[in-house]
Amino acid sequence: MKKAQPNAAHIAIAELEKMGKLDCVITQNIDNLHVRAGSSPERVIELHGTAMSVSCLNCGKKFNREKVQERLKEEMRAPCCDACGGPLKPETISFGQAMPVEETQEAYERSSACDLFIVIGSSLVVQPAASMPVTAKRNGARLVIINRDPTPCDTMADIVLHDQAGPTMTALLDCIKRIAAG
């Protein structure tokens, strides 16, 4: 994941935020690419957690993942929490694990209150993220879906673009900049 780089869509999203056109990013990705592209960490809601840190399963203390991996290489055994000795786990959601309550609640609140909800590069089949565009639409938001393939929400969307996220978001950003420039 260290080698993964933000793509044109991540960069366009960060630029929209800097222009004041975007309130938050709700993501299922665990790769931190939105923040690396320039999005404010406070505006990124990571529904499935992040692979950039680990936490103790006993006491909840958080650790930088790279430092834990260095310890693993040095000690040749799974590192334990330095506070309580408990096992460490990446802060990502594993299969069967409950979704993070705070992040999920905030994402639903933001979805309920927004005036425009843009889905970018999601098949909209994994819950709870798949229901957030529905929540936004039911509360009066416009819905735009940008995805290569059809999604279950296409029929309720105001605009559907079956195309790649990067080039589409770059074109959208260029249009918004031209409109803003007058």
Using the Cα atoms of residue 85, residue 87, residue 90 and residue 96 in order, give the sign of their dihedral: negative
Using the Cα atoms of residue 138, residue 135, residue 163 and residue 35 in order, give the sign of their dihedral: positive
Classify 65 as helix, strand or coil: helix
| Tokens standing for residue 118 | 């843009």
How many C-beta atoms surround the C-beta of residue 61 within 10 A?
Answer: 14
Q: Could you tell me if 103 and 47 are in contact, meaning their C-beta atoms sit under 8 angstroms apart?
A: yes
What does DSSP assign to residue 80? B
Q: Is 48 a catalytic residue?
A: yes
User: One of 10, 34, 48, 162 is an active-site residue; which one?
Assistant: 48
> What's at 77, amino acid-wise?
R
| Catalytic sites, residue numbers | 48
